[in-house]
């Protein structure tokens, strides 16, 4: 069997773990720049607030005291995620961290009652040790485990653990699952399938698989198999990352190339730092710019381009230089840009970097690597003390709106003492 452990309303639960006064209240957590709602407590879900709602549409509720709002605090969520994952690793034979708040737990060879027992104990342990509520779904395929997890969350009678381990339960669960709630069916396919009379997951598996394949391709077929009880999504999903992206929307629109240079340099430096943290190097640096798509009165421009490096690298200066070159090749005067980003791709292991025969820059590369090591010693996630002059003073994420941020509970002694 495969279990899926998923934290309930994760970002909200992280806020509550350090601010117990938020328990039982309607709470939402906002995206960067305080843009839109990305996490909701059960109470705010019950008020009808949808995922992705722009904050200004619910701001009145906050002003009236009917809703509590927090800016997102990814340092805090990352810390709590690591703690939850580490408890899972101590407990299950294998852990595939699928996202910040959920992990697949392949448990072949463990019988169902034992797996259920372990899962119930683990939920209690995670709650006690981290304050985070977790639900577990158990089934033979990952897609069915997702469905089981939905039920575990929805019906308190399961006490956090729901199992689909025979055909009777599987068909019952499929009949109760709206097609749009199925993992792998998104906002494009959901309405289309409903138009064809496919309203539940059960309707979906009752279609001939050939018809699914010709209409939806390999991914549709995989979902169909998984719902039918045949494993089609395997653990290969979790490997070394294939791309690393750092991007932000700006609080205001930017048209000045000098200002864009600083932002892009910041994003590129952050990508280089992430590469070094995981022991990787990249061959390609891609830069993109977006104008504000909501301003229909303004001219739009969404350029992007990729610069290829002769040698895979992860030093700050080389990645930043490449990104600035890319920026200059796509930038056009007269547009107001709202967002920019840097993506590094063609990632390989640091130790596997292949030199080139006539590398005139070899000495420079060694120096840059040494410089990057010094930067890594001085810089942390929350404080960028040593930067290139092309970057902005302060932190790469400065200038984004965070008006409702809670305290850095997991990283500051002062605040931890305050909590105590």
Partner DNA sequence: TCTGGGGTCCTAGGACCC
Residue 8 touches DNA, criterion: CB under 7 A? no
Residue 244 touches DNA, criterion: CB under 7 A? yes
Which burial class, exposed, middle or buried, applies to 83 when counting CB atoms under 10 A from its CB (0-12, 13-18, 19+)?
A: middle
Among 70, 146, 170, 225, which residue sits at the site for DNA (rule: CB under 7 A)? 146
Q: Coil, strand, or helix at residue 274?
A: helix
Residue 38 touches DNA, criterion: CB under 7 A? yes
Distance in Å, CB of 219 to DNA, minimum = 5
Instruction: State CA 360 to chain mean position distance.
Output: 40
Q: Which two tokens stand for residue 72?
A: 């997102």
HEC letters along 100-152: CCEEEEECCCCCHHHHHHHHHHHHHHHHHHHCCCEEEEEECCHHHHHHHHHHH
User: Which candidate, 340, 285, 291, places its Cα nearest to that of 310?
Assistant: 285
Residue 188 touches DNA, criterion: CB under 7 A? yes
Distance in Å, CB of 367 to DNA, minimum = 27
Distance in Å, CB of 251 to DNA, minimum = 7
Q: CB of 121 within 8 A of CB of 159?
A: no
Among 78, 133, 184, 229, which residue sits at the site for DNA (rule: CB under 7 A)? 184
Q: Which two tokens stand for residue 100?
A: 């910040």
Residues from 210 through 229 that contact DNA (CB under 7 A) = 217-219
Candidate ranges 116-124, 246-254, 256-264, 374-382; the one touching DNA (CB under 7 A): 246-254
Residue 33 touches DNA, criterion: CB under 7 A? yes
In the complex with DNA, the residue whose CB is nearer, 215 or 353, is 215
To the nearest 10°, the Cα dihedral for 72, 97, 239, 318?
20
Residue 99 touches DNA, criterion: CB under 7 A? yes
Distance in Å, CB of 252 to DNA, minimum = 8
In the complex with DNA, the residue whose CB is nearer, 113 or 217, is 217
CA of 391: how far to CAs of 143, 147, 261, 316, 330, in Å?
44, 46, 8, 11, 19
**DSSP code, position 354:** P
Residue 101 touches DNA, criterion: CB under 7 A? yes
Distance in Å, CB of 292 to DNA, minimum = 7
Residue 3 touches DNA, criterion: CB under 7 A? no
Candidate ranges 18-26, 32-40, 161-169, 202-210; the one touching DNA (CB under 7 A): 32-40
Q: CB of 85 within 8 A of CB of 103?
A: yes
Residues from 323 through 382 that contact DNA (CB under 7 A) = 338-339, 341, 343
Distance in Å, CB of 130 to DNA, minimum = 17
Residue 298 touches DNA, criterion: CB under 7 A? no
Residue 75 touches DNA, criterion: CB under 7 A? no
User: Which candidate, 18, 86, 121, 5, places its Cα nearest to that of 412?
Assistant: 18
Among 78, 131, 133, 190, which residue sits at the site for DNA (rule: CB under 7 A)? 190
Distance in Å, CB of 159 to DNA, minimum = 22
Residue 276 touches DNA, criterion: CB under 7 A? no
Candidate ranges 18-26, 98-106, 312-320, 323-331; the one touching DNA (CB under 7 A): 98-106
Spatial separation of the C-alpha atoms in residues 268 and 316, rounded to whole Å = 7
Residue 133 touches DNA, criterion: CB under 7 A? no
Spatial separation of the C-alpha atoms in residues 258 and 262, rounded to whole Å = 7
Cα angle, residue 107 at apex, residues 106 and 111 outer, rounded to 5° = 155
Spatial separation of the C-alpha atoms in residues 21 and 41, rounded to whole Å = 13
Residue 294 touches DNA, criterion: CB under 7 A? yes
Q: Coil, strand, or helix at residue 276?
A: helix
Binding footprint of DNA on the chain (CB under 7 A): 31-33, 35-36, 38, 52, 54-56, 98-102, 146, 182-190, 217-219, 236-237, 241-249, 274, 292, 294-295, 304, 306, 338-339, 341, 343, 400
């Amino acid at each position: 069997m495969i279990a899926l452990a998923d934290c309930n309303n994760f970002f909200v639960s992280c806020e509550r773990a350090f601010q117990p006064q938020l328990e039982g209240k309607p709470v939402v957590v906002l995206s960067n720049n305080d843009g839109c709602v990305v996490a909701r407590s059960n109470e705010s879900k019950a008020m009808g607030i949808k995922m992705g709602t722009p904050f200004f549409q619910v701001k009145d509720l906050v002003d009236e005291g009917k809703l509590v709002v927090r800016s997102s605090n990814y340092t805090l969520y990352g810390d709590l995620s690591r703690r939850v994952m580490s408890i899972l690793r101590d407990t299950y034979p294998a852990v595939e961290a699928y996202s910040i708040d959920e992990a697949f737990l392949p448990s072949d060879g463990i019988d169902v009652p034992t797996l259920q027992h372990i899962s119930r104990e683990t939920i209690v342990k995670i709650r006690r040790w981290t304050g985070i509520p977790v639900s577990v779904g158990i089934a033979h395929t990952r897609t069915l485990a997702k469905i089981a997890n939905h039920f575990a969350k929805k019906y308190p009678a399961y006490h956090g653990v729901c199992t689909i381990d025979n055909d009777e339960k599987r068909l019952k669960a499929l009949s109760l699952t709206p097609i749009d709630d199925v993992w792998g069916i998104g906002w494009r396919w959901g309405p289309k399938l409903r138009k064809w009379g496919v309203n539940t997951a059960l309707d979906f598996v009752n279609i001939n698989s050939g018809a699914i394949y010709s209409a939806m391709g390999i991914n549709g077929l995989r979902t169909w198999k998984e719902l039918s009880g045949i494993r089609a999504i395997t653990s290969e999903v979790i490997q070394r990352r294939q791309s690393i992206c750092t991007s932000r929307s700006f609080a205001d629109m930017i048209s000045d190339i000098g200002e864009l240079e600083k932002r892009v340099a910041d994003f590129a430096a952050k990508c280089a730092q992430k590469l070094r943290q995981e022991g990787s190097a990249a061959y390609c640096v891609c830069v993109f710019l977006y104008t504000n798509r909501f301003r229909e009165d303004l001219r739009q421009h969404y350029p992007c381009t990729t610069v290829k490096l002769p040698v895979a690298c992860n030093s700050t200066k080389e990645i930043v230089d490449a990104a600035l070159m890319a920026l200059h090749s796509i930038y056009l005067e007269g547009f107001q840009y709202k967002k920019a980003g840097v993506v590094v791709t063609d990632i390989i292991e640091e130790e596997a970097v292949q030199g080139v025969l006539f590398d005139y820059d070899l000495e420079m590369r060694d120096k840059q690597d040494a410089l990057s090591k010094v930067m890594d010693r001085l810089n942390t996630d929350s404080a960028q003390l040593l930067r290139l002059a092309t970057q902005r003073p302060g932190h790469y994420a400065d200038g984004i709106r965070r008006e409702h941020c809670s305290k850095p509970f997991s990283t500051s002694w002062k605040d931890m003492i305050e909590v105590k």
